């Protein structure tokens, strides 16, 4: 089993959806990722919080086995995000962003983190993401995420970064903007030429598309009838995906990559069932494995044989 370093945000989120709301609840890309990946591997967080960060959140993460040595506390306030979701749960409307101490975040890895075999660069400035890679020794697996702001403000920096990563997570809208292509399939093909061996295009409630080895593999989302809060679903997906790969240490095996997609989707499906990280905090491995098996059963067909009406 390989250890994972995740570099990203630790935040306090205020979110409103059609099914309720939460105020200053635990959030941030590094948090969602870690709570998902911890089911498979040891995770070490690199991030920053203010002096106002609730101690109970730090204690909960530590109790889940997440290494917080790299989570620095600085004078000032913790990063805050305020958002709202309407009926279209793939479209988050940002009402306010207060970077606070996160505005001056400059990731600095410990000696142990520099030696980690797996690293996930969550959605931060691509210059900072590159700076993290400069500090690492020889990671076996590098993955990153991004967002529209960096795609439009630092496209050249981002493209250079993609030449250094193995796996790129991106949502469908971002993939189309970055690649200047009209479809997810075309976008994934173009992006794969820039360096990543694996391109995962997240499609919200419609699932995700993975391109690897010149082939595309579509996966539906696990069906969840009661969706309360989709915040962090993408980072949760990435945590499950990367955690599984770190556990099996098979980074180029297509069958294992498929399993990673399913575990990622299964974890994301748990995440959206409640606000903030509540569902992930209480999730046990047996329940996750059971949902994985249910998902696999839904995707299976008879052993390659055509139905009678198609013969």
DSSP string, 238-296: HHHHHHHHHHHT-SS-HHHHHHHHHHHHHHHHHHTTSSTTHHHHH--HHHHHHHHHHHH
pTM confidence score = 0.94
Domain count, the chain: 1
Using alpha carbons only, how large is the chain's radius of gyration in Å?
Answer: 19
pLDDT digits (tens, 9 = 90+) for 195-224: 999 999 999 888 999 999 999 999 999 999
Across the range 29-33, mean pLDDT stands at 97
The CATH number of residue 191's host domain is: 3.40.1190.20
Specify if 308 maps to a domain.
no
Residue numbers of the domain that contains 256: 4-300
Decide which of 115 and 225 is more confident: 115
Specify if 306 maps to a domain.
no
pLDDT at residue 44 is higher than 90? yes
Confidence of residue 293 (pLDDT cuts 50, 70, 90): very high
Specify if 305 maps to a domain.
no
Q: What is the pLDDT of residue 306?
A: 58
Q: What is the pLDDT of residue 83?
A: 93
Specify if 309 maps to a domain.
no
Specify if 148 maps to a domain.
yes
- Mean pLDDT value across the chain: 93
Which secondary-structure segment (H or E) carries 190? helix 184-192
Specify if 159 maps to a domain.
yes
Percent of the chain topping pLDDT 90: 86
Question: Side by side, which strands form the sheet with 11-17?
Answer: 20-27, 11-17, 80-85, 92-98
């Amino acid at each position: 089993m390989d250890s994972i370093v995740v570099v990203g945000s630790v935040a306090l989120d205020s979110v409103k959806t059609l099914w309720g709301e939460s105020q200053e609840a635990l959030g941030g890309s590094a948090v969602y990722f870690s709570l998902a990946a911890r089911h498979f591997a040891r995770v070490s967080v690199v991030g920053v919080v203010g002096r106002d960060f609730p101690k109970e959140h730090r204690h909960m993460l530590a109790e889940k086995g997440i290494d917080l040595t790299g989570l620095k506390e600085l004078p000032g306030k913790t990063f805050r995000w305020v958002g709202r979701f309407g009926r279209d749960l793939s479209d988050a409307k940002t009402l306010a962003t207060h970077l606070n101490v996160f505005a001056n975040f400059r990731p600095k890895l410990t000696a142990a983190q520099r030696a980690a075999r797996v690293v996930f660069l969550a959605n931060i400035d691509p210059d900072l993401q590159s700076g993290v890679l400069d500090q690492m020794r020889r990671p076996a697996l590098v993955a990153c995420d991004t967002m529209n702001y960096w795609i439009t403000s630092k496209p050249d920096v981002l493209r250079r970064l993609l030449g250094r990563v193995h796996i790129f997570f991106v949502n469908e809208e971002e993939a189309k903007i970055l690649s200047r292509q009209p479809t997810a399939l075309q976008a994934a093909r173009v992006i794969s030429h820039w360096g990543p061996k694996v391109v995962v295009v997240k499609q919200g409630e419609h699932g995700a598309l993975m391109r690897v080895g010149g082939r595309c593999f579509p996966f539906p989302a696990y069906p969840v009838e009661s969706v309360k809060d989709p915040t962090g679903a993408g980072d949760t997906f990435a945590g499950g995906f990367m955690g599984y790969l770190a556990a099996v240490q098979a980074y180029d095996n297509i069958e294992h990559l498929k399993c990673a997609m399913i575990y990622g989707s299964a974890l994301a499906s748990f995440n959206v069932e409640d606000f903030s990280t509540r569902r992930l905090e209480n999730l046990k491995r047996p329940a996750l494995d059971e949902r994985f098996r249910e998902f696999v059963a839904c995707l299976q067909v008879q052993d390659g044989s055509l139905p009678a009406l198609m013969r």
